[in-house]
Amino acid sequence: MLSLKNISVKYGSFAAVHDINIEVNEGEIVVLLGSNGAGKSTTFRTISGLNKPAEGEILFEGKSLNKVSADKIVQLGIGQCPEGRKLFPAMSVQENLRMGAFVHRRKKDEIKKSLQHVYELFPILHDKKEDAAGSLSGGQQQMLAIGRALMSKPKLMLLDEPSVGLAPLIVEQMFEVIQQINREGTTILLAEQNANAALKIADKGYVFENGSIVLQGTSLELFANDEVRKAYIGA
């Protein structure tokens, strides 16, 4: 479904991502692991068209994304839930969700259905739909960010560190919803530092270090790997 082939990304002369290869198949949950500054968000922004690769090719459903603009990439079916959530804090929950449907703005009935779907996944967002996004708790804001990404009806959803700053119980609930979204047919690419929670739901993963992929494998393989355990799981 998504292939990154020998992708390098630069900020000026600094290569933040160097010669990486990633394959995401339809239906999978794939996780990118790595500590701060490893290159996960840069990779995400390159897939969603906000950064452009200096080298290599990105294919989505067989089509090159290299020269496609960010809004067109959303239209093609890649939805991004960015690092730090990037909500509009003064706008209501429902207004934030509607912003996510911007690419479908002429299809009123579809937007209504998508809203219903998000409210079924996250009943708390329905209870708080008139409240300002900025007034929600951290966990609720993350759910809103995921809900907003769903409003574009993505085939592939990019989730950049959704568990950051959240209590363990909330993380668990959120990962359950991510699994449910996946079961309903959305392919998921997830970046996480919480390897433990992420590998439990992922099919496979890639480990980033200093902009390169140093290890890849199925979740079971990575979970059993001593280096991964030492660096990201703490056992």
Is the Cβ of residue 18 or residue 155 nearer to ligand ADP in the bound state?
18
What is the C-alpha to C-alpha distance for residues 56 and 8, in angstroms, rounded to an integer? 6
Shortest spacing between CB 51 and ligand ADP, in angstroms? 8
What is the C-alpha to C-alpha distance for residues 143 and 166, in angstroms, rounded to an integer? 11
When CB distances are held under 5 to 8 angstroms depending on the partner's kind, the choice from ligand ADP, Mg ion, none that residue 36 binds is: ligand ADP
Is the Cβ of residue 14 or residue 67 nearer to ligand ADP in the bound state?
14
Nearest to 115 by CA among 150, 71, 159, 155: 150
What is the C-alpha to C-alpha distance for residues 178 and 69, in angstroms, rounded to an integer? 27
Phi/psi at 190 (5° precision):
-120, 135
Site membership for ligand ADP, residue 11 (CB under 6 A): yes
Nearest to 78 by CA among 57, 54, 48, 106: 48
Site membership for ligand ADP, residue 85 (CB under 6 A): no
What is the C-alpha to C-alpha distance for residues 195 and 85, in angstroms, rounded to an integer? 20
Is the Cβ of residue 42 or residue 152 nearer to ligand ADP in the bound state?
42
Phi/psi at 78 (5° precision):
-110, 115
Shortest spacing between CB 82 and ligand ADP, in angstroms? 11
C-alpha neighbours within 13 Å on the C-beta side of residue 30: 22
Site for ligand ADP in 29-68 (CB under 6 A): 34, 36-42
Site membership for ligand ADP, residue 163 (CB under 6 A): no
Nearest to 148 by CA among 96, 210, 113: 96
Site membership for ligand ADP, residue 82 (CB under 6 A): no
Q: Which residues bind Mg ion (CB under 5 A)?
A: 40-41, 83
Shortest spacing between CB 83 and ligand ADP, in angstroms? 7
Shortest spacing between CB 40 and ligand ADP, in angstroms? 3
- Which residue in the block uniquely carries the two structure tokens 């909500």? 87
When CB distances are held under 5 to 8 angstroms depending on the partner's kind, the choice from ligand ADP, Mg ion, none that residue 51 binds is: none
Is the Cβ of residue 41 or residue 140 nearer to ligand ADP in the bound state?
41
Shortest spacing between CB 77 and ligand ADP, in angstroms? 23
Q: Is 80 helix (H, G, I), strand (E, B) or coil?
A: strand
Site membership for ligand ADP, residue 88 (CB under 6 A): no
What is the C-alpha to C-alpha distance for residues 177 and 172, in angstroms, rounded to an integer? 9
- Total interface residues for ligand ADP by CB under 6 A: 10
Q: Which residues bind to ligand ADP, rule: CB under 6 A?
A: 11, 16, 34, 36-42
